[in-house]
Chains A and B, each alone.
Chain A
């Protein structure tokens, strides 16, 4: 059964948006849900049905979008985070702009710039003091950092001249947005915005979006936010930060418990009392909301984004959607993989929710810029499947074992009847064969040429190349011992009527352990017959050759 059906797709939409920059919402409160995509090319686009409802240009690259209700029974607000601003749209019109407060800069730095502005201070001294400030304190304004980054004093002076008259302010930028319900758990309940910034702050705005009501300092820059609970009651804000830890803010207080991931996270969602976090090492971890690790799901590919699937039927079904880098979308219920679908293209962003009038739509933004909308099958029975327990189905499939023939059974009978004789014969023959092998081995040790000498630990490989009548014998000699050997002469024994060796003298002055030495010896076949050539390695110490080998020169047609 196919779980997903195609709703519509626009392969040439030309949009690039991550999951954070995509959301679904009923912007006009008329029951027709819209798709909001903030493109990374500074464009905000809203789809309604299969067409573009409206489009607007943005001043800066957006970092996140969110839809939230600021009052009951009114159209929701659309918040677009871009730079240090949050633009709030209502009824498809710009409505309000919230600017994040400027950061407080260290008073020393402010006073230096004041002095520079009034030309009370020598620029070189100011630079020296700023750099000592940078050594001692962590946070300086961008302007000071820019100044210090110049190499030559002339450029620094120019920079001071150009900038000293403008007031010194330090903006921050928003990295992520979250929505936290204010006092009701309904879908269109009044909510507040949660903002994470580049300077490690977490803000909660009030419901009109005009004032900060809570401010928390985080240990690192937040990357993903997930919320649970009610702001007026008890709430938790989970923040996955760039130091690959997950921090919890509970009722405005940073909790001491930290979830430490091994690698960076690619997405964070919470379903009921579980936290799911995708990590870059092809895993999705599941934690209890209090920080206890529950399990890890292993993926065959990189996780590109994760999303919650929530369907309200007779019972509410909540599952986990995982999009992989190879275009596969997996649906998990707890640990069980319910369904897998392949798009065939890398997925950048994913949003699940209602679209148009249909509940259960999955909107995907793929790498080529297209948008794909899939619809979950209404009759799909997702509940029944997660009761799957027991061994994998492969265990039930029997192995293919060929049937034993009748002949085999007859032989078994023979074995049963005359076991004694058979065993006796076997033992006798085994001893005889063992003797024969040992004899052959012994003979080998004394007479036969070996290409592995025992005392000096040299080994020689020799093989022939060529089609004839000219052949090349390639000798590869390796010293496997611990000491180097010197003055090794290569000599040959062959029938001079059949062969002529063209390389005059082959000689290895020194053989260093473990190195491979290679010599090529040219041979001419006179008669074209196939015959052996013996190759010896000799040194001056021993009268016996160190190693010898037979090389068979193949026959050739053309002489």
Chain B
């Protein structure tokens, strides 16, 4: 059989390595075999393909050198930095814990959802969040991230297949099919958006500025280079020619990076009008709504996604956590069980199942789930923290104390655990110890209001009124509607008035 035909068939069957091998042999025979070259290029690209519609992580440098920030204090509801406050139906931090970035926790871990982004404004928070668990280090730049994702595959391919710097882009752009394959290779394998941009620019000229594909690739290159306004122009122009779903999603990603979530929402809605009930679009819309703290809206969109695709893991997980935090743990339990049935069995699932069981009153299953979670990974701080929470709920304070101690030893940046340890120490009467724990909790996580309020209360009880006042002001800055803090502030004010 013709080896080229076999190679093409292997590519179709997603046996990329074998395909590359055959192409290598073909190219060794004839180095100018364009068909083989094309096939190898495709195979390499597909092997390294990542769905970058979903992965969008901002690098360190992007945050520090963010030139796109416009209003320092935007109106609430118009920016990711200031989403709708809980007063207008958003999520209250009392009901839903927050992530390291100070955002309400989501049901599905996505890049950017757990970390501060450029729109959240604090460089310091971004740097500090790097010191978390191993493997969560933030890349220096967003292209650095792609580079690191790429290195593994590069090593396996051995020598470099295409040396981008030596290519004459003008000549390459003449051959449309090869140029397209090369462009994808440059973006996805070589991670060289600069060269890819050069190629795209030449190719659009060749196509007389009429090819939507080149325009959208041009936009992607601009996006990776951080030139968001240029990217926006290219995507818009591409959409005018051909209405494609990925282009819509990429355009709204640009808006998100520019901190214009309302534009992103509009873009998604426009796209949904045309491509009705599209799973990806609905999911993207739900994500933006979640970013904006519109939890109820996001939940209804996730439900819509499930109607189209009942196996969508992100939608199931998001709905599960939404139900859990809106006081329906028994429904959350169903969703988590569904995830388990879909074949996901990791420490997080067992942990969530255990919590859902506990809050739904299924006490016989709850402990088993927590033990399963420990079996899966007993060095996960969150699991121990949740065990401690359950123990506190049952009044087993000794066990809770032990579990919290283990939690902070396996994860010494677990601020919530430090806070709870402080409360337990205070119950034992160790005031100094408690104060130390609160202080470390505050130092690790300045987005938590609980340790601040607890230290304020402690300072108030030990008679340090001014200290207490300062702390409670900080707590209220994080969570302005916290009733206990308000009450404490009122008491302090009365105290100061009477002086």
Q: In the bound complex, what is the Cα–Cα distance between A422 and B368 (angstroms)?
A: 12
> Across the interface, which residues of B come within 8 angstroms of A464, CB to CB?
130-131
Give the residue name and chain of the B residue nearest to A531 (CB). Answer: B134
A residues near B412, Cβ cutoff 8 Å: 451, 549-550
Contact B134 A480 (CB under 8 A): no
Per-residue CB proximity of B173-187 to A under 8 Å, as 1/0?
000000000000000
Chain A residues, CB < 8 A from B327 = 402
B367 and A430 contacting across the interface, CB-CB below 8 Å: yes
Query: Nearest Cβ distance between residue B379 and chain A, in whole angstroms?
Result: 10
| Mask: chain B, 389-432; 1 = CB below 8 Å from A; 0 = not | 00100101001001101100100110000000000000000001
Cross-interface CB contact of B367 among A433, A450, A532, A550, cutoff 8 Å: A433
A405 at the interface (CB under 8 A from B): yes
User: Residue on A with the closest CB to B135?
Assistant: A530
Chain B contact-residue range equals 35 or more
**Does any Cβ of B come within 8 Å of A437's Cβ?**
yes
Beta-carbon contacts of B106-150 to A below 8 Å, as 1s and 0s? Answer: 000000000000000000000110110111111110001001100
Chain A residues contacting B307 (CB-CB under 8 Å) are: none
Residues of chain B contacted by A530 (CB below 8 angstroms)? 134-135, 137
Partner of B402, one of A437, A467, A549, A552: A437
Which residues of A406-461 are within 8 A (CB) of B? 407-408, 411-412, 415, 421-423, 425-426, 429-430, 432-434, 436-438, 440-441, 444, 448-451, 459, 461
Interface assignment of B99: CB less than 8 Å from any CB of chain A: no
Q: Which 3 A-B pairs have the closest CB atoms?
A: A429-B367, A554-B137, A441-B402
Cα–Cα distance between A423 and B133 once the two chains are bound (Å): 38
B-side residues, CB < 8 A to A, are 60, 127-128, 130-131, 133-140, 144, 147-148, 326-328, 330-331, 334, 360-364, 366-368, 370-371, 374, 378, 384, 387, 391, 394, 396, 399, 402-403, 405-406, 409, 412-413, 432-433, 436, 440, 443, 497
Given contacts A407-B331, A480-B436, contact A557 B364 (CB under 8 A): no
Contact between A459 and B402 (Cβ–Cβ < 8 Å)?
A: no
Give chain A interface residues in 251-305, CB to chain B under 8 Å: 281
Contacts of B135 in A (CB 8 A): 530, 555
- Separation of A556 and B127 alpha carbons in the complex (Å): 13
Interchain CB contact under 8 A, A411 and B137: no
- Asked if B361 contacts A415 (CB within 8 A), the reply is yes
The answer to whether B432 and A480 touch across the interface, beta carbons within 8 angstroms, is yes
Q: Write 17 A-B pairs (CB below 8 A) sorted by A numbering.
A: A405-B328, A407-B334, A408-B328, A426-B366, A430-B367, A430-B394, A430-B396, A437-B391, A437-B402, A440-B406, A449-B409, A468-B140, A530-B134, A530-B135, A530-B137, A549-B412, A555-B137
Q: How far is the CA of A405 from the CA of B326 in the complex (A)?
A: 12
Contacts of A549 in B (CB 8 A): 412
Asked if A543 is at the interface (CB within 8 A of a chain B CB), the reply is: no
Beta-carbon contact of A426 and B364 below 8 Å: yes
Determine whether the beta carbon of B364 is less than 8 Å from that of A433: no
Given known A-B contacts A433-B370, A434-B396, A467-B140, A441 and B131 have beta carbons under 8 A apart: no
A430 to B357, CA, bound (A): 14
Instruction: Across the interface, name the chain B residue whose C-beta is closest to A425.
Output: B364
Q: Apart from A429-B368, A466-B127, A557-B148, what are 19 other A-B pairs with CB-CB below 8 Å? A: A421-B364, A422-B364, A426-B363, A430-B396, A433-B399, A438-B402, A440-B403, A461-B440, A463-B131, A464-B131, A465-B131, A468-B140, A480-B432, A531-B134, A552-B131, A552-B134, A557-B140, A557-B144, A557-B147
- For B396, the chain A residues whose CB sits under 8 A away are 430, 434
Number of A residues with CB within 8 Å of any CB on chain B = 49
Q: Are A552 and B371 in contact (CB under 8 A)?
A: no
Which residues does chain B contribute within 8 Å of A425, judged by CB atoms?
364
Within 8 A of B (CB), among A380-408: 402, 405, 407-408
Question: In the complex, are the beta carbons of A422 and B330 less than 8 A apart?
Answer: no
Nearest CB of chain B from residue A451's CB, rounded to whole Å = 7
Q: For B130, list chain A residues within 8 Å (CB).
A: 464, 467, 554
Q: Are A461 and B334 in touch, CB under 8 angstroms? A: no
**Are A411 and B147 CB-contacts (below 8 A) given A437-B403, A459-B436, A465-B127?**
no
**Contact: B60 with A467, CB < 8 Å?**
yes
CB of A59 closer than 8 Å to a CB of B: no
A433 to B374, CA, bound (A): 10
Chain A positions 517-559 with a Cβ under 8 Å from a chain B Cβ: 530-532, 549-550, 552, 554-558
CA distance A465 to B127 in the complex (A): 7
Contact (A432, B364) CB under 8 Å given A407-B334, A480-B436: no
**A452 shortest CB reach to chain B, Å:** 9
Residue of B nearest to A410 (CB): B330
Which A residues are CB-close (under 8 A) to B367? 426, 429-430, 432-433
Find B331's partner among A405, A432, A450, A467 (CB 8 Å cutoff).
Answer: A405
Contacting residues, chain A, for B371 (C-beta < 8 A):
429, 432-433, 436
Q: Which of B148, B362, B406 lies in contact with A441, CB distance below 8 A?
A: B406
Residue of A nearest to B329 (CB): A408
| A39 CB → nearest B CB, Å | 33
Q: Measured between alpha carbons, how far is A461 from B405 in the docked complex, in Å?
A: 15
Chain A proximity of B353: nearest CB distance (Å): 14
